[in-house]
A and B are shown apart, each in its own frame.
Chain A
């Protein structure tokens, strides 16, 4: 039975109104050219340069102790900042989506601050506060604790630039989902933690993962803020992005591009996972909207 009623013809593409074919093709071509020149070509260059002297040179520059130290430091920074940002993001989103309080819009604006402040300034702030000439610098040096030009400074600077990611992702999501399921769980006798882990978390998990992913990508790729506080000490305070810069400035192109290929790889993986998470989240929201509208 393959009768298709003529009224139900499905158009594979939406019918455009007014735009001539050549406009469409010109716009598509322009977009593709821009993407090719500014995104694909540089990415290809990274790989070409990284393998310019063969697989051996690529591998040996990645296994160089300084590179390994940079990778380790980058992973460590991410391992500290991402969980902190996640906890902060969930609590901030919870507070903003669930409660009415004075200064709420100010808080939302403040959460966005790191997006609007140049990362270099973010780094500088920490130098001014914790540096040798800064407010707390003398106290820290007295107690033999280094913040600036050491790992704590790098973590602090990274925290500053990454802390909106999870909150920004969760606030609209939690506002959309609403409070009723949590109230239902509480009325059934669940404790606050039970409600959070059994009801809230499953509902926001895709959005949360999405925020964590973006946060992680930024934590590993951050250059400006970290550059100011790191001091560029080889093998000690160089993260991967800083290591790339140092190598490049020393004409170690293979080393620089080999490290860059790692970050580029991270970007591609992030992109793929991000697309998947976005799709998953949309599915979930669709289902929940369907569940909310009874007819």
Chain B
């Protein structure tokens, strides 16, 4: 294990930022700490780095207990959200900094430093910028220089705080892919913090979902997406339709294929692509009406409303491939019948009961 966290807790005054966090991260993993803002993910990253001290619990890096070690002695690479490049130094000097501040006996010669820095600059494909100052670079360039600077000291763990948070959408897309490739090449255990689930799914090999200072779930992107362990994860990752079975959704859900004996406190989460839509010959048989639809490229998103409900404004989203949609030949206002291919349901009345989360397949 490269990183092990044991019972980490942290409070800021009356606010509990982290609550008894336990986490093992194997060597070479690329992990996303994912959660809404204020969930404690950045605090956790800073505790791993040693920039913040936990009130309680231990941090192990490569088997060593580093809880009482300062950030200087943890041999980590940290990339800050706003890069924190040294504004009065050139790009070259920024990257060389970690090598030049080493104690005399460990410090490489200036010639070796020059070679290492240029190698890193080539790695991040920015060698031509070596004599610029940070304020002359674009956001994406700064991010890559910050990464090169962190890599210069050959850290065993790379920690990135919202690495793409301050970038334009198009630059972000490129950098995500690039980071993934870079990780393949270097194979350094990497943790990055993000609030963007799409980013976490795209980049990480493991995702840790945090909420209110607790780990909600840990797993591969497909585990997290396909079998969320509770309603928070299911809601936070990807789009989902939430049906409260106690409040009258059960009748029509029954018609769509879900039958439950005891609906008390049960919420069903259904992904849009798990809702099948069929055109009805007899238009009076179903209360579901196609209100509108949008073209999302390869898929079509349908907005459906249930006219039988007291509150017919609630929209149900369904998605299907666009050629399938063409075959259905639907128009706005058409009555359709739904069938649910897959649902997750959660018992909110007893959230602590693990069986409360279950899969439902047809």
Residues of chain A touching chain B, judged by Cβ–Cβ distance below 8 Å, are: 180-181, 183-191, 194, 198-199, 202-203, 284, 287-288, 290-292, 294-295
Contact B101 A194 (CB under 8 A): yes
Least CB distance from A281 to B in Å reads: 13
A186–B101 Cα gap in the complex (Å)?
10
**Extra 9 A-B pairs, beta carbons < 8 Å, given A184-B80, A294-B82:** A180-B80, A183-B51, A185-B97, A189-B72, A189-B101, A288-B87, A291-B87, A294-B142, A294-B166
| Contact partners of B82 in chain A: CB under 8 A | 180, 292, 294
Contact B135 A183 (CB under 8 A): no
A295–B291 Cα gap in the complex (Å)?
39
**B237 on interface, CB distance cutoff 8 Å:** no
Contact A287 B135 (CB under 8 A): yes
**B304 on interface, CB distance cutoff 8 Å:** no
Contact A287 B87 (CB under 8 A): yes
Least CB distance from B333 to A in Å reads: 44
**B105 on interface, CB distance cutoff 8 Å:** no
Q: Which of A181, A183, A190, A295 contacts B78 (CB 8 A)?
A: A183
Contact A291 B85 (CB under 8 A): yes
Contact A187 B101 (CB under 8 A): no
| Contact partners of B134 in chain A: CB under 8 A | 291
A202–B139 Cα gap in the complex (Å)?
23
| Contact partners of B84 in chain A: CB under 8 A | 180-181, 183-184
Interface residues of B in 156-185 (CB under 8 A from A): 166-168
Residues of chain B touching chain A, judged by Cβ–Cβ distance below 8 Å, are: 49-51, 70-72, 75-78, 80, 82-88, 97-98, 101-102, 133-135, 138-139, 142-143, 149-150, 152-153, 166-168
Most buried by B among A185, A187, A190, A287: A187
Contact B87 A181 (CB under 8 A): yes
Contact B101 A185 (CB under 8 A): yes
Contact B71 A183 (CB under 8 A): yes
Given A183-B78, A187-B49, verify A290-B135 contact (CB < 8 Å).
Answer: yes
Contact B71 A187 (CB under 8 A): yes
Contact A186 B72 (CB under 8 A): yes
Contact B97 A295 (CB under 8 A): no
Q: Which of A181, A187, A189, A294 contacts B86 (CB 8 A)?
A: A181
Contact B101 A198 (CB under 8 A): yes
Given A181-B86, A181-B87, A292-B82, verify A191-B72 contact (CB < 8 Å).
Answer: yes
A284–B72 Cα gap in the complex (Å)?
28
Most buried by A among B83, B86, B134, B152: B86
Q: Which residue of B lies closest to A195 (CB)?
A: B101
A181–B71 Cα gap in the complex (Å)?
14
Q: Which residue of B lies closest to A188 (CB)?
A: B98
| Contact partners of B72 in chain A: CB under 8 A | 186-187, 189-191
A181–B94 Cα gap in the complex (Å)?
11
Most buried by A among B51, B139, B142: B51
Contact A189 B87 (CB under 8 A): no
Given A183-B71, A187-B49, A202-B88, verify A291-B135 contact (CB < 8 Å).
Answer: yes
Least CB distance from A236 to B in Å reads: 46
A291–B82 Cα gap in the complex (Å)?
8
Least CB distance from B81 to A in Å reads: 8
| Contact partners of B76 in chain A: CB under 8 A | 187
| Contact partners of B49 in chain A: CB under 8 A | 187
Pairs A-B, 4 closest by C-beta atoms: A294-B139, A188-B98, A180-B84, A184-B84
| Contact partners of A187 in chain B: CB under 8 A | 49-51, 71-72, 76-78, 150
A187–B153 Cα gap in the complex (Å)?
10
Contact B78 A189 (CB under 8 A): no
Least CB distance from B174 to A in Å reads: 15
Given A187-B76, A188-B149, verify A295-B166 contact (CB < 8 Å).
Answer: yes
Q: Which of A186, A190, A191, A288 contacts B135 (CB 8 A)?
A: A288
Q: Which residue of A lies closest to B88 (CB)?
A: A202
Contact A295 B168 (CB under 8 A): yes
| Contact partners of B78 in chain A: CB under 8 A | 183-184, 187
| Contact partners of A292 in chain B: CB under 8 A | 82
A285–B181 Cα gap in the complex (Å)?
36
A15–B50 Cα gap in the complex (Å)?
53
Least CB distance from A193 to B in Å reads: 10
Contact B86 A185 (CB under 8 A): yes
| Contact partners of B87 in chain A: CB under 8 A | 181, 203, 284, 287-288, 291
Q: Which residue of A lies closest to B98 (CB)?
A: A188
A214–B153 Cα gap in the complex (Å)?
42
A202–B142 Cα gap in the complex (Å)?
20
Q: Which residue of A lies closest to B167 (CB)?
A: A294
Contact B135 A184 (CB under 8 A): no
Contact B135 A189 (CB under 8 A): no
A294–B75 Cα gap in the complex (Å)?
28
| Contact partners of B51 in chain A: CB under 8 A | 183, 186-187
Q: Which residue of B lies closest to A290 (CB)?
A: B135
Q: Which of B85, B138, B142, B153 contacts A189 (CB 8 A)?
A: B153
Least CB distance from A226 to B in Å reads: 38
Q: Which residue of B lies closest to A287 (CB)?
A: B135
Given A187-B49, A295-B139, verify A203-B88 contact (CB < 8 Å).
Answer: yes
Most buried by B among A184, A194, A202: A184
A242–B135 Cα gap in the complex (Å)?
50
Contact B86 A184 (CB under 8 A): yes
| Contact partners of A203 in chain B: CB under 8 A | 87-88
Least CB distance from B89 to A in Å reads: 8
| Contact partners of A295 in chain B: CB under 8 A | 139, 166-168
